[in-house]
């Protein structure tokens, strides 16, 4: 097993992302590996790391606010009757090694460890960058979470714990905050309010000079609603626990896959749909 740390992700000769395996992140932010910076082929930045509005937002990765009461998202924990509360319950995703490292992708093993040192989950993560054409590429991100405890676990979100609208947790992409909030749309819906909570085939974000189009990479992932923020801060996630807690039995594994088209310019609906089609063909979904 190759245990070397940070690496660059490339599309051909172009470096499009940096993967950080041992970030210097305070315990309160739930340390974990993540991608940042991520850029378009023209070099435009499309991620943000530790922004002032949410210091625990770390580029692109997997973060879950409630794994059997342990916080792998960072920041406060929503407690019914008390609201967002500072608790000493933060976990860490520990990079244990790479089974594959190439210029255009990697396969990684991680342990999701509590503050007390117990491994709750063992993760198998596969990430690849594939060029789609002169102005776009796709990030193919798959994660498998194995319950390593010998007992049942469940995943929750602030929404499942009583805070309406806050069903975040799972794959999450924090985009850069600009003077004007990004446009967010699907093939059938327009705007943050209409798109949040939908199970659309894809969700598009367009900023000043960039576009991101998120698509479920498997039928099971497609059943998860999209978590969307635009006005307060720009972020998109695929929600594991939207309306109710998600159970994971002892020794069981859940798998999710998200494809993200990273494009220069501001895409419209037809162009976004076409690039999603190209992406699914390119990665062999």
Task: Check if the beta carbon of residue 200 is closer than 8 Å to that of residue 238.
Answer: no
The average pLDDT across 241-245 equals 96
CB 149 within 8 A of CB 250: yes
DSSP assigned state of 162: T
Mean pLDDT on 122-140: 97
With CA atoms as reference, report the closest residue to 142 among 166, 110, 174, 165: 110
CA pair distance 219, 256, nearest whole angstrom: 9
Q: Outline where 72-191 has alpha helix (H).
A: none
Share of the chain above pLDDT 90, in %: 96
Q: How confident is the model at residue 284 (pLDDT cuts 50, 70, 90)?
A: confident
Cα(263)–Cα(261) distance, rounded to whole angstroms?
A: 6
Contact 183, 169 (CB under 8 A): no
The larger pLDDT score, comparing residue 256 to residue 4, is at 256
What is the pLDDT confidence band of residue 285, given thresholds at 50, 70 and 90?
low
Q: Give the C-alpha separation, 39 to 15, whole Å.
A: 8
Token representation of residue 149: 């405890």
Mean pLDDT (whole number) for 90-103: 96
* Residue 66's pLDDT band (cuts 50, 70, 90): very high
Average pLDDT of the segment spanning 98-127: 98
Q: What letter would DSSP give residue 27?
A: G
Q: Where are the domains of the chain?
A: 7-159+245-283
* pLDDT tens sequence across 249-277: 999 999 999 999 999 999 999 999 999 99
Query: What's this model's pTM, rounded to 2 decimal places?
Result: 0.97
- Predicted local confidence at residue 2, as pLDDT: 60
Around Cβ 282, how many Cβ atoms within 10 Å? Answer: 17
Q: DSSP label at 103?
A: T
- Our CA dihedral for 172, 173, 179, 182, rounded to 10 degrees, sits at -90
Could you read off the pLDDT of 153-200 as tens digits, one per residue? 999 999 999 999 999 999 999 999 999 999 999 999 999 999 999 999
Average pLDDT, the chain: 96
């Amino acid at each position: 097993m190759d245990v070397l740390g940070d690496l660059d992700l490339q599309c051909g000769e172009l470096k499009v992302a940096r993967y950080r395996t041992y970030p210097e992140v305070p315990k309160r932010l739930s340390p974990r590996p993540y991608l940042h910076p991520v850029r378009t082929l023209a070099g435009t930045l499309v991620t943000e790391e530790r922004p002032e509005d949410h210091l625990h937002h770390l580029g692109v990765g997997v973060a879950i606010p409630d794994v059997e009461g342990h916080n792998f998202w960072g920041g406060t924990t929503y407690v019914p009757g008390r609201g967002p509360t500072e608790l000493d319950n933060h976990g860490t995703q520990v990079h244990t090694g790479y089974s594959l490292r190439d210029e255009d992708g990697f396969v990684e093993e991680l342990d999701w460890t509590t503050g007390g040192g117990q491994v709750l989950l063992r993760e198998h993560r596969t990430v690849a960058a594939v060029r789609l054409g002169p102005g776009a590429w796709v990030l193919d991100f798959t994660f498998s979470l194995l319950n390593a405890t010998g007992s049942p676990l469940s995943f929750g979100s602030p929404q499942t714990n009583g805070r309406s609208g806050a069903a975040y947790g799972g794959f999450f992409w924090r985009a850069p905050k600009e003077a004007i909030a990004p446009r967010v749309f699907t093939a059938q819906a327009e705007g943050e309010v209409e798109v949040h909570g939908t199970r659309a085939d894809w969700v598009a974000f367009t900023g000043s000079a960039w576009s991101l189009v998120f698509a479920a990479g498997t039928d099971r992932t497609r059943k998860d609603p999209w978590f969307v923020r635009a006005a307060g801060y720009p972020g998109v996630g695929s929600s594991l626990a939207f309306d109710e807690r998600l159970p994971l039995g002892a020794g069981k594994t859940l798998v999710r896959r998200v494809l993200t088209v990273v494009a220069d310019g501001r895409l419209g609906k037809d162009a976004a749909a076409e690039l999603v089609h190209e992406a699914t063909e390119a990665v062999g979904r």
